Structure 1
């Protein structure tokens, strides 16, 4: 019996190229005898054929493997929805950068075929859980594979907050916000904010201040088991926002408490057997031309 038999497909349906790759992939999988499970939104843009249709958050119960066709954003969304299950994810890049979706559109049959035959690398990644409490009552929660970000929201105004790590006071900061990033997210927004690139195998979290008022405030790397508490300042001229991977946006009020820690469940990413993190950095970040 093959390791993967029920294959879920999630696609970036607003992209014509992604839809073309999805249809090509569906034909290939069905010709090879696999049962295809289409995500409900994806099924509105492709011919479902003999495929089953499922809500995204139910695919973890039906699938042995989920293939995401799109950009890193598409895979992030799938990761948040499926993190509670043990189903692994494989990405086909139809976006721009493609740090997480590392199979090219011209090698779908070759690389997907290798993975389905057992020739692949499995990589474990952790996510972050976030919750917001107001006067002791939880008002919002979310999870992130890349990062949780506190930022000014609609207006470019400096905000103030207190940061605690493992119950210890770190600082009161005035800045444009704070990025709390996993190693997966270290090549995303955190990198643009001046944070370090972290190898995906690291059990660490990086905190990157956004344009801090005190120029000596620099990124901090702490152990992955750390627990963070951010208290929104009482005198902010605007109400800061909290986002998870750029989604699940919450508007805070003075005195709100944002708590962040590692999610108990981990995500398994599947890569082709020749995957190399440093080669990905060289090609995606254009290191070879520097």
Structure 2
């Protein structure tokens, strides 16, 4: 008996390899006589193929959580990030098949689809909880924009490169004022993404912590910080010589801010459940994806 009865399928099918992997996955689910629901844009790319006709139904991304008890994402980490933001509130777990470049989150290789997905469906898998960040931009107390992020919330100059002035407060306590290209506020999940490129620390996914990584700060004493995961972060946008600062969630949601705006960031109450094959190992992922050295005696 399978551990999951109804499967949701999401795919970024912008190339033939990704489309082939999705079709292969659908064929495998059919061989197991499992119901599956296609996300609407995925179905549109597949067109009128037999795969679409075999689907139990086609649903919008944000409603998949009402129809499925597992969602499989075929694509890169960006595809899984988008699915996570849309589906976390439903509590539906996500499983990733990697058709992107790095694949920190989508950890089943295309060659292993039948074997590894089959193991998951048979109940042989690891379950991991990840938290997201909630971001709000407020102007004079009025909400101007909001977003969620599994990886990071980034304040940056936007289209034009220039220094930003801002103040950082944590849990109501003033921390520092800075001139920098911006600030990366990262979850442990995002610590191996943009924050890592910015010189931030790698955090194990099980940590209840948030990383703060200043981007090219105009002082040698400015360093990344790791704070408690339940902290309330406030960034107050300072003078920026007429230019606007942008606030981005996972590189996919963009909110414009102005001088005097307050950016509030805190942990989202609902958590994401990621499903991994039994052989998943965070440190092995770091070795293979980041090019770390292997055993000296091998």
TM-score range, shorter chain: over 0.9
Q: Residues of 2 paired with 1:277 and 1:88: CA distance? A: 18
Q: Map residues 250-269 of structure 1 onto 2, 5 A cutoff.
A: 250-269=255-274
Query: Hey, what does 1:223 align to over in structure 2?
Result: 228
Post-superposition shift, 1:147? 0.1
Q: 1:132 aligns with which of 137, 142, 146?
A: 137
Post-superposition shift, 1:183? 0.2
Q: Residues of 2 paired with 1:10 and 1:133: CA distance? A: 33
TM-score calculated relative to the size of structure 2? 0.95
Does 2:290 correspond to 1:285?
yes
1:234-272 deviation line (CA, Å, top 9, x unaligned): 344420000000011011111111000000000000000
1:83-126 deviation line (CA, Å, top 9, x unaligned): 11110000000000000000000010000000000000000000
Q: Residues of 2 paired with 1:3 and 1:14: CA distance? A: 30
TM-align CA RMSD: 1.1
Q: 2:53 aligns with which of 22, 44, 49?
A: 49
Query: Hey, what does 1:40 align to over in structure 2?
Result: 40
* Structure 1 unaligned blocks of 5 or more: none
Query: How many residue pairs were aligned?
Result: 290
Post-superposition shift, 1:50? 1.7
Q: Residues of 2 paired with 1:252 and 1:16: CA distance? A: 39
Q: Residues of 2 paired with 1:7 and 1:284: CA distance? A: 28
With 227-236 and 6-15 compared, the bigger mean Cα shift is at: 227-236
Q: Residues of 2 paired with 1:243 and 1:95: CA distance? A: 21
Indicate conservation of the 8 Å contact 1:130/1:148, yes or no: yes
Indicate conservation of the 8 Å contact 1:157/1:237, yes or no: no
**Corresponding residue SS for 1:49:** helix
* Structure 2 unaligned blocks of 5 or more: none
Indicate conservation of the 8 Å contact 2:164/2:239, yes or no: no
With 44-53 and 159-168 compared, the bigger mean Cα shift is at: 44-53
Query: Hey, what does 2:245 align to over in structure 1?
Result: 240
Query: Hey, what does 1:2 align to over in structure 2?
Result: 2
With 227-236 and 244-253 compared, the bigger mean Cα shift is at: 227-236
Q: Residues of 2 paired with 1:136 and 1:240: CA distance? A: 18
Post-superposition shift, 1:135? 1.4
Where does structure 1 differ by over 4 angstroms across 4 or more consecutive aligned residues? none
Query: Hey, what does 1:13 align to over in structure 2?
Result: 13
Query: Hey, what does 1:80 align to over in structure 2?
Result: 85
